[in-house]
Amino acid sequence: MSEKDLRINEQIRVREVRLIRDDGAEQQGIIPTMEALDIAREQGLDLVEVAPNAAPPVVKIMDYGKFKFENEKKVRDSKKKQKLIKLKEIRMQPKIDDHDLDFKSKHVKDFLLEGNKVKVTVRFRGREMAHTELGLEVLKDVLARIEGDYVMDRAPAMEGRFMSMILSPKTKK
């Protein structure tokens, strides 16, 4: 249940409520809503409806501003802990030189170590389309050079004039 769904103080429009004190341990029982509101005001706190579907609804005496702040803080902290995985792409051609292949393979390895997925693509031009096996050899060579720091999400496959595969980093257990 989100904060927007919670009714506070005068927004609670039922005759009787089940009241819980702000420490959470002490239940006051079922009392009229106005009486519960008076108790909350005496303590300088808010009356917050925490279980509106119960019969009668459950309300809690608490500092609503502090409650809202702590919930927002939890949401912010959970967003910080999330890791966004990006899909990086490395493109090459079937007639690639050894040094260039080393260079691009090093980039693939670096992207995987950063925690990103990598799409390795070989582009075929003109008559190269007749020799797609050369592209497959290039992709296998890349796999051999990055030495098992990956999990293959998608095996090498043709997509029009491109042959590509998708690699993701190995998850550490």
Per-residue pLDDT of the chain (173 residues; tens, 9 = 90+): 555 567 777 778 788 888 887 666 667 778 888 888 888 888 888 888 877 788 888 888 888 888 888 888 988 888 887 777 788 999 999 999 999 999 999 999 988 888 889 999 999 998 988 988 999 999 999 888 888 778 888 899 999 999 999 998 887 54
Residue 33: in which H helix or E strand, if any? Answer: helix 33-42
pTM reported for the whole predicted model: 0.54
Residue 123's pLDDT is 94
Phi, psi of 117 (to 5 degrees): -85, 155
Residue 171's pLDDT is 72
3-class DSSP state of 124 = coil
Residue 92's pLDDT is 93
CA distance 35 to 47: 11
**Of 79, 84, 82, 9, nearest to 40 (Cα)?**
9
Question: How many CA atoms does the CB half-sphere of 170 hold within 13 Å?
Answer: 8
Residue 16's pLDDT is 85
